Chains A and B, each alone.
Chain A
Amino acid sequence: MTLLAELSGSIGSVGYGLAAIGPGVGIGIIFGQGVQAIARQPEAYGVIRQNMLLGFALAEALALIGFVVPFVYGV
């Protein structure tokens, strides 16, 4: 096996950084659109907030898995 490149140090934190990109964009879109929806229709606040938090939770899970996995698989 030929070694192309080698990396040492806290690679888990680099992995977490990569894992946070997608959910970061996603959460930004969710809350941005949520605020816009509330501004357009303030009377639907309850329903919008609930669905906003639901989408937030689903997107956030990916970043959190990226955070936990380095702890599980060691250094």
Chain B
Amino acid sequence: MINLPSSAWGCNLGSCEEFPAPGTEIFFFEDVWTVSVFGQEFGFNKPMILLFLGAFVVIGFFLYAFRKPQIVPRGAQSVGELGYTFIRDGIARDVIGKGGEKFVPFLFSFFFFIWVLNFMGIVPGILFPVTSVFAIPVAFALIVYFTWVPLGIIKQGPVGFFTNIMFPPGLPKPLYLILAPIELISNILVRPFTHCVRLFANMFAGHLLLTTFSIAAWFLFSASIGGLIGSAVSFAVVVALTGFELLIQALQAYIFTLLTAVYISSALHAEH
């Protein structure tokens, strides 16, 4: 189930001239099984199965943690409450402010779901961050986009929403000639794009780096001083990068949620 360039396994003990560098092919998976619904074929591959697994893990953990809530939390409940207060106080109340409480479940689900999906990149036996498949962050970003744009149109009115975006107050009048189109494009078109690309590219780059150094450790390994040192250094880099990825995964899930909160807040309260 771990996807590697087909040549990579055989490249060891100096059997290959050239380093079998991994490319984008490590992100494409064969279908494990296919289902036919009304003549339409649906394939299930590894990222898709992991997506369902991630959903089950998040739902399962929080159902378990809050199955019998007590006033003095113990065990799983205190972990669950820690996560909840982190999202509510650190993101919803601080960023959105008034009216932020309503969005806690939305932000909470996003944060933990994305974190679990990212975390699968370093779980032994899985070793694939699901969010490095571009379609998945795109779907997340679209959910956020179709939440905050209608919300802004409802709260500020169709005209008010766009004028608030295009004309931030407190600037000299001629500047609006340049600023208004830039603000419109950057808020309506570029925002959802960077929102998903940020998460995708971080996970994509991280997975590619880990794969490159893992293959290097295997490729360089041979019964010579240079080979042993090269292999050991590559392996040490893999271990260090795994620790680094642990940080990046949590950070990217946090940033995605934080930006979601910022967008929702910009829809709820226009800048004055």
Contact = CB atoms under 8 A, between A and B. Distances in A.
Contacts of B200: 68
Interface stretch (A1-9, A25-33, A34-42, A45-53): A45-53
Contacts of A53: 251, 254-255, 258
B94 A47 contact: yes
Nearest to B23: A71
B90 A64 contact: no
Given A60-B198, A64-B202, 5 more contacts: A50-B95, A54-B258, A61-B197, A64-B198, A68-B197
A56 B204 CA distance: 18
Contact of B197 (A47, A54, A56, A65): A65
14 contacts: A46-B90, A47-B94, A50-B95, A50-B258, A53-B254, A54-B258, A54-B259, A60-B198, A61-B194, A61-B198, A64-B201, A65-B197, A68-B200, A68-B201
B58 interface: no
Main secondary structure of the interface of A (DSSP, over half): helix
A55 B200 CA distance: 18
A64 B205 contact: yes
B110 to A, nearest CB: 15
Minimum-distance CB pairs A-B, first 7: A64-B201, A61-B194, A57-B255, A68-B201, A61-B198, A67-B201, A71-B24
Q: Interface size for chain A: under 10, 10 to 19, 20 to 34, or 35 or more residues?
A: 10 to 19
A64 B197 contact: yes
B136 interface: no
B239 to A, nearest CB: 23
Interface in B200-218: 200-202, 204-205
Contact of B198 (A47, A57, A71): A57
Nearest to A16: B205
Contacts of A54: 255, 258-259, 262
Contacts of B94: 46-47, 50
B204 A68 contact: yes
A65 B258 contact: no
Contacts of A67: 201, 205
Contacts of B198: 57, 60-61, 64
Contacts of A50: 90, 94-95, 258
A72 to B, nearest CB: 9
A36 to B, nearest CB: 21
Interface in B3-19: none
A58 B197 CA distance: 11
Contact of B259 (A47, A57, A64): A57
> A46, A53, A57: which has the most chain B beta carbons within 10 Å?
A57
Contacts of B204: 68
Interface string B230-259: 000000000000000000000100110011
Contacts of A65: 194, 197, 201
